[in-house]
Amino acid sequence: MNFYGIKAIYLFEMARTWRTIMQSIASPVLSTSLYFIVFGSAIGSRMASIDGVSYGAFIVPGLIMLSILTESISNASFGIYMPKFTGTIYEVLSAPISAVETVIGYVGAAATKSIIIGTIILITARLFVDFSIAHPVWMIAFLVLTSVTFSLFGFIIGIWADSFQKLQIVPLMIVTPLAFLGGSFYSINMLPPFWQTIALFNPVVYLVSGFRWSFYGVADVGVGISLGMTLVFMLLCLAAIGWIFRTGYKIKA
């Protein structure tokens, strides 16, 4: 394993984050804080509790997960797209570093950024609502697993995209709507039976449900199912990335 190569890619990506800290970290934290103010403090104070949890506290895991999903995809896709756009991807491909090491460097940096953002949002949420964490170890596990999984997904999008417009299509048109409809702001048990069944086809439901369970011990679906679905999606992403490097899809051509 070429740890020097992994370290070089990782540190380069992290350095870009610190150079653009307002866009990379401050912006998503500020946006999520506005959700806490509007939904948590203003609207939440007028709503009944859900599963014994106040509405303001109930949406904390959902908002953190919403930020993690979008930021993981954005960071990973932009990180690998820019070398393609500038042509420096060929320097990476010609360097004595394998595909696995390349993915670890880029995805590791993107996941680290998402974990930092998620942690800052978790701390910031304390300023607006009072909440507890029933299973802190599982909370960290879901935080890391989701960050890595969607950073892998973002890496795939960055390889697939051949323009800045395409880079934004999947996050804006697919991921964000799925996140909003995935129980971030409500429990799917509040939906009519038919729409509860439809919601189960939304993969984000399992992520939000498992993460919320780690906070309050309540979930829309079993925590084992949530964990299993996340691992399945990660394996699918790994399989897709393996195929990309074997065929050179949109990398070598």
**pLDDT tens digits along 208-221:** 999 999 999 988 88
Please say whether the beta carbons of 99 and 245 come within 8 A: yes
Domain count across the chain:
1
Residue 109, domain member (yes or no): yes
Q: What distance in Å separates the CA atoms of residue 75 and residue 12, rounded to the nearest whole number? A: 13
Q: What distance in Å separates the CA atoms of residue 142 and residue 139, rounded to the nearest whole number? A: 5
Range of the domain at 124: 3-41+51-247
The Cα-based distances of 148 to 178, 244, 250 in angstroms read 18, 18, 22
- Mean pLDDT value across residues 87-95: 82
Residue 252, domain member (yes or no): no
CB-count burial class (<10 Å; 0-12, 13-18, 19+) for 43: middle
What spatial distance separates the first Cα and last Cα of the chain, rounded to whole Å? 26
Residue 253, domain member (yes or no): no
User: Within 10 Å of residue 59's Cβ, how many Cβ atoms?
Assistant: 28
Mean pLDDT of the chain: 86
Instruction: Indicate the pTM of the whole model.
Output: 0.89
pLDDT of residue 162: 84
Helix (H, G, I), strand (E, B) or coil at 220: coil
Residue 228, domain member (yes or no): yes
Please check the confidence at residue 31 and state whether its pLDDT lies above 80: no
Residue 46, domain member (yes or no): no
Residue 93, domain member (yes or no): yes
Q: What distance in Å separates the CA atoms of residue 245 and residue 101, rounded to the nearest whole number? A: 12
User: What residues pair up with 50 in beta bridges, in sequence order?
Assistant: 53
User: Within 10 Å of residue 87's Cβ, how many Cβ atoms?
Assistant: 8
Q: Rounded to 5 degrees, what are φ and ψ at 228?
A: -65, -45
* pLDDT band per the 50, 70, 90 thresholds, residue 146: very high
Please check the confidence at residue 26 and state whether its pLDDT lies above 90: no
- Which of 40-54, 78-92, 149-163, 165-179 shows the lowest mean pLDDT across its residues? 40-54
Please check the confidence at residue 128 and state whether its pLDDT lies above 90: no
The Cα-based distances of 97 to 84, 103, 184 in angstroms read 17, 10, 40
Please check the confidence at residue 137 and state whether its pLDDT lies above 70: yes
Residue 218, domain member (yes or no): yes
pLDDT of residue 27: 77
Residue 128, domain member (yes or no): yes
